[in-house]
Structure 1
Amino acid sequence: MKIGLLSVALSGLVAAQNFYDRNPQIMELTPKTFKRAVYGTNHTTLVEFYAPWCGHCQKLKPTMERAARALDGLVQVAAVNCHVEANQQLCMKHGVEGYPTLAVFHPAAGKAGGRARHSREPYQGPRKLRPMVDFSLARMRNHVRRLDGDKLRVLFEDGGSRPLAVLASTRDRVAPLYKSMAIDWLGAVDFSFVAAAKLPKDTPVPDRPGLRSCAEHLAGNLDRSALLLFDPKSDECHVYSGKLTKPAVAEFLSKVAKPQEGPLSKRERFLETLKGSKRTRRSDDDDHDEL
């Protein structure tokens, strides 16, 4: 009899255990942490509402872990264990009727503040890695100003009052990594993008020496992407030459302004507490390597 009761107790314990407590890229959320983690950000969040005893959830778990790895530093990934009694009202609030339920939360259009109410969009596509990742990336807010040659010339003539990051890319699209950096420094650094093929043939000659230095660096044909950072306070142009990883670029940008989110921010330290002590140092191969 005692063995039977012990078996039932242990099975109940296993069923209540969180799936992702040991995953360094996924936050296990509760009603106390959900609001700050999901709504208190300008980043997009992919959330799985699950129950550990659910066979479909168990089958999805490896895909969620791979998706979290692919989205690390770009889109937040979180989970809520709806089997835990304290979480059940939160799951009901978000319309969870079956497991697993996937949803993407993202800031409403036109809202720049982290406290703005987010839109909740259910994910009803294939429960496969690529569709889930693509769906999440497509919901990232884009705070990068896309320029052509004429707009770049006007930008250099003006300069603005905030630090300015300009990426001249050999690619024609704004990479998710660059979008994520713009979100991290939202309101502190203005981010712009220009395809190298659309750089002006004649170099603008701004009055400010720092802007002139940036403009001259972009003159001619670029055979590789170039990231420049203009600091209006010191009137200096900084040219990035390091690895294209988020931590490295964050260190570069922090020369002129502190981020609101992402690496080096106070918020990042809060998010790490949700992941416990499971965060480990990643190899360079694990980081996103394109701007």
Structure 2
Amino acid sequence: MKKFNLIFTISWALFNSLLIYGQNFYDSNPNIIELNSRTFDRVIHHTNYTTLVEFYAPWCGYCQKLKPILEKTAKQLNGIVQIAAINCDLDMNKQLCGQESIEGFPTLKVFRPPKINFNVKPEDRVDFKTHASEVYIGERKVSPMIDFMISRIKSYVKRVQNIKNLRNLICKKDKEQELKVVYFSKNEKVSSVFKTLAIDFLGKVKFYHITNGVFKGFENDEVEINKSMKTYPNITKFLLELEKDQKDKNNSKNNRLVFFKAQEDKYLEYSGENFNKIDIESFIMKEFNITPTEGPLSKKVSI
């Protein structure tokens, strides 16, 4: 009986080890993309998102230890950057892992997209076939990994220093990107959510960030105000009221998200309770009939 139990225990252990050997870690995780050699290029290099990729082997003890950390990181960064993984133990993925110079497990690599220059015509832009990459060598803890990934997000949000400049930007004729979105914020730092909103609507909507308390240069310029009132009376009145309200950084209202369509002399303030990315994108789709190119609400085909 003892011999039978021993044989059964060994067999069960071998069976479990075989399962671990070939099993992908993240197939059922909604926040982590489990890649393979067929999907890697499309997911990593055909996006404007920054991506963190874990190259792992299921039998690796360090990989098993990193798994819950990566899952927590991915949950907090969901919709902000892409978190992906690839099982280098599978035969179909071994060549790719070799091409990426993976020598040990787990290896974390960050892939950063090139910055698109919209001042250059599409046919004249440099066509980057792949994203730049770097090995993540920081602490393998949730907070440091989140901070590092946020620091690697490309920003298409333009900072504005005063209301006069903002007025010139939002009223500038732009047939392809008529909708301008302005985030009036108490914080000087552009939020990662706002950056990814700009990425999702890249080429369709322009995004601006202006810090409360730096408003100046418009209400005292009578010539500019009179000129602006003739063409954009509604937008001009709103900006004048806003400048008066938010001159004092401490007494100004909370963060405000405002949408401008200068061609129609219209503006619409977002009234949602939370500055949630999904809610804001749904608002843009409903009010302006503009569909994001990337992100959870886009028509981009998932793997």
Contiguous gaps of at least 5 residues in structure 2: 220-224, 247-251
Q: How far apart are 1:90 and its partner, in Å?
A: 1.3
Distance in 2 (alpha carbons) for counterparts of 1:43 and 1:104: 11
1:40 and 2:66 aligned: no
> What amino acid maps onto 1:92 in structure 2?
G
Partner of residue 167 from structure 1, selected from 164, 177, 183: 183
Structure 1 stretch 69-78 or stretch 109-118: which is displaced more?
109-118
- Compare relative contact order (CA 8 Å, sep 6+) and give the higher one, 1 or 2: 1
Q: How far apart are 1:214 and its partner, in Å?
A: 4.7
> What amino acid maps onto 1:197 in structure 2?
G
1:31 is paired with a residue whose SS is coil
Distance in 1 (alpha carbons) for counterparts of 2:25 and 2:74: 13
Distance in 1 (alpha carbons) for counterparts of 2:217 and 2:283: 28
Query: Cα gap change, 1:123/1:199 in structure 2, threshold over 3 Å: closer, same or farther?
Result: same
Normalised TM-score (structure 2)? 0.81
Distance in 1 (alpha carbons) for counterparts of 2:216 and 2:259: 19
Q: How far apart are 1:13 and its partner, in Å?
A: 2.4
1:188 and 2:218 aligned: no
Query: Cα gap change, 1:10/1:130 in structure 2, threshold over 3 Å: closer, same or farther?
Result: closer
Match of 1:260 in 2: 293
Normalised TM-score (structure 1)? 0.84
Match of 1:197 in 2: 213
Q: How far apart are 1:208 and its partner, in Å?
A: 2.5
Match of 2:78 in 1: 72
| C-alpha contact (below 8 Å) 2:170/2:260 kept by paired residues | no
2:182 is paired with a residue whose SS is strand
> What amino acid maps onto 2:101 in structure 1?
G
| C-alpha contact (below 8 Å) 1:30/1:87 kept by paired residues | yes
Query: Cα gap change, 1:262/1:110 in structure 2, threshold over 3 Å: closer, same or farther?
Result: closer
2:39 is paired with a residue whose SS is helix
Partner of residue 107 from structure 2, selected from 101, 106, 116: 101
Match of 1:228 in 2: 258
Distance in 2 (alpha carbons) for counterparts of 1:111 and 1:92: 33
Distance in 2 (alpha carbons) for counterparts of 1:229 and 1:170: 18
1:211 and 2:235 aligned: yes
Match of 1:137 in 2: 150
C-alpha offsets along residues 118-138 of structure 1, whole Å, 9 cap, x if unaligned? 101110111111111111111
Residue identity (%): 37
Partner of residue 279 from structure 2, selected from 228, 248, 267: 248
1:165 is paired with a residue whose SS is strand
2:293 is paired with a residue whose SS is coil
Distance in 2 (alpha carbons) for counterparts of 1:156 and 1:123: 39
Distance in 2 (alpha carbons) for counterparts of 1:265 and 1:213: 35
Query: Cα gap change, 1:210/1:13 in structure 2, threshold over 3 Å: closer, same or farther?
Result: farther
Q: How far apart are 1:51 and its partner, in Å?
A: 0.5
Q: How far apart are 1:213 and its partner, in Å?
A: 5.6
Q: Determine which structure has more spread, i.e. the larger CA radius of gyration.
A: 2
| C-alpha contact (below 8 Å) 1:82/1:88 kept by paired residues | yes
Q: How far apart are 1:11 and its partner, in Å?
A: 2.3
